[in-house]
């Protein structure tokens, strides 16, 4: 009680040791607003946690195998699929479709973004239709695509390419528009030709935006793949999964999902690696 | 625009007028700069200094105006910011837009001249502000300009770096003899560097004063110029 009622002057008379201001551990300077370095291991943490949850849930019976097959069943299914060669051949088909669509779509996206970003006419003609396409879901285009291009590879690749085109176009176009006007002025004073301006100023300036688009595009190429392979396909991972659905084989469906997930992740990691080396001049939060 | 490299005259502007909307920024201005002459351009904010420099650099596309202007084709501009392309290495920045097999060799020489030999492969981000401005100087030099237009090139540098850069600019001018138009609002810088100081006020030249080299009456020039600028 007396302790509590002691008046303010006591603080002044407190022993030296108590008056000492404890130095709070200071955060490392220059780091406070940055998220800190990211390692490959840190990036794997999220997916790893999911895997642990899935395994644990299945092991203790929290997850019904009829709803979601346990990981070990999926692993053995992978073994079986690989043993009879179905995994490899379907995976190869899917990869070919995805890569073909990706290459075409990225090329078209960059080309259109350049035309729209660097010329008034291009902007007027291209930007509107691309935004319209952006608003239309890929799935809704399938019936028309089948009528136009049939049910063969051509249709699938075109659907993937047009889906991939959107994120590449949108991000590259925005980045081109955002290239600093001061650099444009510099290009004028050193007398750069239009071609050189595009190659040495516009394109490198838009590269960060392009890579954002490319990362999205890699994922989109896989998701578009799922759509086209579940419609009238006779091969590919999506076909494998559609068949499995007919026979109620959840383990094959999961195996297919795992393939999609792994390749999505691998694709994204690959693009990030390319991005890091291509944009090594940048000093930003992420690096 | 007509280009004229008549003997001894690097720049000839006659009744040069520029305006933005109803506001006249350059008012029927006449200016001649001789070959190799170092001219400093002083003036308060909004006096038309930058507009004049941009007119000489032919960077004023779309700005309303009239008058005659003859400037050399070989001209280069140094901006207040170094304005290096961050995605291009130092040497690539220096030779930006140049052709031919000797371009890179000349670029290396120019870098060595500004004291950055060996930094050809560095990224602009890795350089200090002063070093970046040196690269910008090298980029201008390598074009062998007959006219060097500099828009407050040292404005963003710290005092010590600025002094060193001023010395470097004088040295480079002595060696290569381009005509120089240096826009600045530092009276001391103008007096120390230029052969001739011009003061611009509301788009007109109000002072045009030669500063003989080696003259010891810097204080008198300073006082006169400050008075013309409405200070002191």
Q: At what angle do helices B129-141 and B159-176 cross, to 10 degrees?
A: 10
Point out the domain boundary residue: B144, B160, B177.
B144
Chain B contacts to A (CB-CB under 8 A):
57, 59, 76-77, 79, 81, 83, 85-88, 96-97, 123-125, 139, 143
Task: Name the region of A64 (left: φ>0; alpha: ψ -120 to 50; beta: rest).
Answer: beta
Indicate whether B138 and B186 sit together in one domain: no
Whether A123 maps to a domain, the answer reads yes
A36 has a pLDDT exceeding 80: no
Is the residue at A77 inside a domain? Answer: no
Please report the pLDDT score of residue A28 as a whole number. Answer: 56
State which of B144, B161, B184 marks the end of a domain: B144
Distance from CA of B129 to the nearest CA of A (A): 16
pLDDT at residue A223 greater than cutoff 90? no
In a domain, B80, yes or no: no
Residues B128 and B213 in one domain: no
Q: Measured between alpha carbons, how far is A235 from A81 in angstroms, rounded to an integer?
A: 14
* ipTM for the whole complex: 0.86
Q: Are residues B106 and B69 in the same domain?
A: no
Residue of B198, B181, B192, B187 whose CA lies nearest to B216: B192
Domain span at residue A172?
87-278
Portion of chain B with pLDDT greater than 90, in percent:
46
Residues B134, B149, single domain; the answer is no
Residue numbers in A near B79 (CB within 8 A): 182, 186
| Residues B85, A200: C-beta atoms closer than 8 Å | yes
Q: Cα angle vertex A144, ends A140, A149, to 5°?
A: 130
Q: Within 10 A of B3 (CB to CB), how many other CB atoms are there?
A: 12
A138 or B93, greater pLDDT: B93
Instruction: Please give the tally of structural domains in chain A.
Output: 1
Domain extent for B30: 1-74+145-232
- Residue A74 in any domain: the answer is no
Q: What is the mean pLDDT of residues B48-67?
A: 88
Q: What is the CATH number of the domain that holds A214?
A: 1.10.3720.10
> Does residue A16 register a pLDDT over 50?
no
B77 to chain A: closest CA residue: A189
B209 & B230 share domain? yes
Residue A12: per-residue pLDDT = 47
Residues B139 and B108 occupy one common structural domain? yes
Answer whether B178's CB lies under 8 Å from B56's CB.
Answer: no
Q: Express each pLDDT in A250-275 by its tens digit.
A: 889 888 888 888 888 888 889 999 98
């Amino acid at each position: 009680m007396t302790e509590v009622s002691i008046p303010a002057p006591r603080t002044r008379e407190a022993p030296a040791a108590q008056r000492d201001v404890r130095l709070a551990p200071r955060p490392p300077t220059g780091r406070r607003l940055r998220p800190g370095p990211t390692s490959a291991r840190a990036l794997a943490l999220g997916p790893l946690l999911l895997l642990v949850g899935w395994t644990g849930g299945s092991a203790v019976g929290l997850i019904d195998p009829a709803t979601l097959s346990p990981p070990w069943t999926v692993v053995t299914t992978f073994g079986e699929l690989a043993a009879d060669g179905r995994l490899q051949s379907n995976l190869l088909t899917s990869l070919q479709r995805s890569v073909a669509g990706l290459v075409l779509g990225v090329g078209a996206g960059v080309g259109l973004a350049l035309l729209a970003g660097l010329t008034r006419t291009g902007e007027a003609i291209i930007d509107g239709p691309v935004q319209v396409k952006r608003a239309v879901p890929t799935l809704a285009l399938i019936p028309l695509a089948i009528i136009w291009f049939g049910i063969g590879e051509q249709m699938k690749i075109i659907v993937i390419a047009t889906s991939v085109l959107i994120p590449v176009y949108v991000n590259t176009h925005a980045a081109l528009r955002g290239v600093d006007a001061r650099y444009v002025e510099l290009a004028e004073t050193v007398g750069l030709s239009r071609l050189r301006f595009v190659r040495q100023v516009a394109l490198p300036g838009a590269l960060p935006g392009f890579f954002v688009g490319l990362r999205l595009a890699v994922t989109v190429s896989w998701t578009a793949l799922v759509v086209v392979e579940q419609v009238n396909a006779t091969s590919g991972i999506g076909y494998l999964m559609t068949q499995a659905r007919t026979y109620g084989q959840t383990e094959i469906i999961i195996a297919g999902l795992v393939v999609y997930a792994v390749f999505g992740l691998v694709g994204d990691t690959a693009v990030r690696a390319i991005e890091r080396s291509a944009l090594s001049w940048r000093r930003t939060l992420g690096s | 625009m007509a280009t004229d490299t008549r003997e001894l005259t690097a720049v000839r502007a006659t009744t040069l007028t520029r305006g933005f909307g109803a506001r006249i920024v350059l008012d029927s201005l006449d200016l001649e700069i001789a070959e190799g002459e170092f001219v400093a351009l002083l003036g308060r904010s909004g006096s038309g200094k930058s507009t004049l420099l941009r007119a000489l650099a032919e960077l004023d596309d779309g700005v309303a105006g009239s008058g005659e202007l003859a400037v050399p084709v070989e001209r280069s501009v140094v901006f207040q910011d170094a304005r290096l392309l961050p995605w291009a290495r130092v040497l690539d920045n220096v030779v930006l837009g140049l052709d031919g097999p000797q371009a890179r060799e000349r670029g290396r020489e120019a870098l060595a001249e500004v004291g950055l030999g060996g930094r050809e492969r560095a990224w602009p981000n890795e350089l200090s502000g002063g070093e970046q401005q040196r690269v910008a100087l090298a980029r201008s030099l390598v074009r062998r300009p007959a006219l060097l237009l500099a828009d407050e090139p040292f404005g963003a540098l710290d005092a010590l770096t600025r002094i060193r850069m001023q010395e470097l600019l004088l040295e480079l001018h002595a060696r290569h003899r381009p005509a120089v138009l240096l826009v600045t609002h530092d009276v001391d810088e103008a007096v120390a560097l230029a052969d001739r100081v011009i003061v611009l006020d509301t788009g007109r030249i109000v002072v045009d004063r030669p500063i003989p080299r080696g003259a010891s009456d810097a204080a008198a020039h300073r006082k006169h110029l400050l008075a013309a600028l409405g200070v002191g």
